[in-house]
Structure 1
Amino acid sequence: MRPLFALPALLLLAACSEQQMCISRATQDLRAVRGFVNEAEGNLARGYALVETQVVDYERKLCGVKPNGDKKYCRVAVEETVVERKAIDLDGEAAKLAVLRQKEAALVLKTDAQVLACQQAYPD
């Protein structure tokens, strides 16, 4: 039964051309750094960071019937993601953002060259 779950992923990968996969690999680091830049900019704009935490709570659910006909309830763990505010060092965050922007600028040059190489190696 598990191979059926993998089938959509395989079809999706098969739909990607060699050029698209090459470009995706080439831009992976730049996308990550841009995500960090966006996060740092958001933190500075808000004045605090947002941190996701996993919280486990318990719910009472019907899990069967007792031999005498009464309903049987069980405690079931339910995991939730909670977003909490976290204090940050604004000067440190600004310094981090400056370094990330420098790294982004360097990666743009590197990535542009890699994308061009991908386009030449795998023309559509």
Structure 2
Amino acid sequence: MSRNSALAAIVTLPLLVAACGTPQERCISQNTSEYRTVSRLLAEVEGNLARGYAWEERQVVRDRLTQCRTYVRDDKGRAVVAYEPCWRDYVDTERYRVPIDPAAEQRKRDNLAARAAVLGNRAASVVQACRAAFPEEQG
């Protein structure tokens, strides 16, 4: 798969996922995405403070010995598939520790907690409105 087609698949995946679910689920999902994002960031910052460091990721290209398919001619001149060892690159994701500034992380946590409280109240009213607008059958 080329990089462009992989990128296109990644970009269209959220559109396909958004098309799934009931109208009520779509309404709730679309209108509470910012609250979910802030909540996820708040949990990450609280984890950083509890550990004393943050995690970051980087992409690393490595070599791997594998079997490659090649075509050779047999004694009758026909093309035959053969496998031989070869080196292939692959991309690996590494996690590594990053030092944090505890005072800055605490300020970030306080700001995110305040934002999450405001968005939480809004999300609760949006969920209630979506349930009223798109009632689901209880079965």
Alignment of 1:1-124 (within 5 A): 13-14=19-20, 16-64=21-69, 67=72, 72-124=84-136
CA apart distance, 1:51: 0.7
2:54 counterpart letter in structure 1: A
Q: TM-score with structure 1 length normalisation?
A: 0.80
Cα distance change of structure 1 residues 82 and 20 upon mapping to structure 2, 3 Å threshold? same
In structure 2, the gaps of 5 or more residues are 1-14, 75-81
Deviation readout 1:4-50 (Å, 9 max, x if unpaired): xxxxx969945x21011101112211111110011000000010001
CA apart distance, 1:71: 5.9
Aligned partners of 1:30, 1:13: CA distance in 2, in Å?
A: 20
CA apart distance, 1:62: 2.1
Q: Conserved in 2, the CA contact under 8 Å of 1:66 and 1:72?
A: no
Aligned partners of 1:103, 1:109: CA distance in 2, in Å?
A: 10
Larger radius of gyration between Structure 1 and Structure 2: 2
Aligned partners of 2:71, 2:27: CA distance in 1, in Å?
A: 59
Aligned partners of 1:55, 1:63: CA distance in 2, in Å?
A: 22
Structure ranking higher in helix proportion: 1
